[in-house]
Amino acid sequence: MKLFPSKTIAWYTGKMFLVRSAAFLIGLIVILESLDLLGESGKILAAAGNGEAELWTYVSLRVPQLIQLFLPFSVLLATLVTLATLNQNSEVVIFKAAGISAHQILAPLFIAALGIAVANFVFNESVTTHATRTLKIWQDNEYKQVPKAADPVTETWVRGGDDLFRATGVSGLDAATVLQGVTIYDRSEDRLVRVVMADSATPVKSGWRLANARVFDVALGTVARKPEMDFPSVVVPRQFTTVSINPAWIPLWELWPQIGEQRDAGKPVDTLVAAAWHKISGPLSTVLMPLLGA
């Protein structure tokens, strides 16, 4: 049994499905973006120097997110309307009279949905990730102009065993790593024992060497100052130089290697792995819409 007994019918139903998918997507995006812009335009224009150009910039950054979110729903609506139209015009009866089964009628829709899913995946990873990152940075800056050479935030928190490390700055790699503005919360069984603060820290064989250290003993309530001290710890330099990852900002082909780096550094990666698989399953959900619509 052929999957497509008639190429003409397959092309006809597939084209009808694609046109309706595009129409629903465009309609949803126009309506939802208009409503979204009504809510955000006041915040955008409140920033000094912003005008109509910034409103269009917001639209260009927000639309990719809406496409990512509502494309599967548009495909579902297109499936319902396509099949309803075929049934209303008695075309389904004609197809069955010609010996075309139900799954052969749906096959062109599945193939078209698979093509949409592939295009959606490429669009999400190449366009939406960049737009999401840019928009988030802009929103965090209250829609003000973001300096091109803004200083990066380098504050880092790391956990090793029960201890917590905080560094306000990190430079270098591996054995040449230097931590600035170090605060160590020395804990035992989730109970804070002492707080160690130092101007800088460098890795040594069994832990970290702290310069100009101040040690606050929680039990005694005293502060001891030491020009230099070694703090034994299982924390390694790699844990500071592997930065936090926002999977919504990174394409899948860059996310997997970074997950490996995080895993090698001993950091939890379950959330990142789940987000990576979601980047695949999200677009693939489009393929199921013809089945749900049928």
The string of DSSP codes covering 83-121 is HHHHHHTTHHHHHHHTT--HHHHHHHHHHHHHHHHHHHH
Which DSSP category does 127 fall into? Answer: I
Crossing angle of helices 102-123 and 270-293, in 10° steps, is: 150
* 101-109 mean pLDDT: 78
Domain ranges of the chain: 7-148+284-293, 162-233
Our CA dihedral for 161, 162, 168, 171, rounded to 10 degrees, sits at -10
Give the tens place of pLDDT for each residue, 79-104.
999 888 887 877 767 777 666 777 77
Average pLDDT of the residues of the chain: 86
Residue 227 burial by Cβ neighbours in a 10 Å radius (0-12, 13-18, 19+): exposed
* 48-69 mean pLDDT: 92
The pLDDT of residue 256 is 87
pTM of the predicted model, to two decimals? 0.69
Residue 115 burial by Cβ neighbours in a 10 Å radius (0-12, 13-18, 19+): middle
Do residues 239 and 261 touch, judged by C-beta distance below 8 A? no
162-233 maps to which CATH number?
A: 2.60.450.10
Phi, psi angle pair for 185, to nearest 5°: -100, 100
pLDDT interval class at 2 (50, 70, 90): low
Calpha distance 164→143 (Å, rounded): 34
Phi, psi angle pair for 112, to nearest 5°: -65, -40
Phi, psi angle pair for 207, to nearest 5°: 165, -125
Angle, CA of 79, 81 and 84, to the nearest 5°: 105
Cα 286 to chain centroid, rounded:
19
Q: How many C-beta atoms lie closer than 10 Å to residue 249's C-beta? A: 17
Do residues 112 and 22 touch, judged by C-beta distance below 8 A? no
**Buried/exposed 33-42: b ≥16 CB within 10 Å, e otherwise:** beebeeebee
**3-class secondary-structure state, position 9:** helix
Angle, CA of 51, 42 and 61, to the nearest 5°: 65
The pLDDT of residue 150 is 44
Give the tens place of pLDDT for each residue, 126-138.
999 999 999 988 8
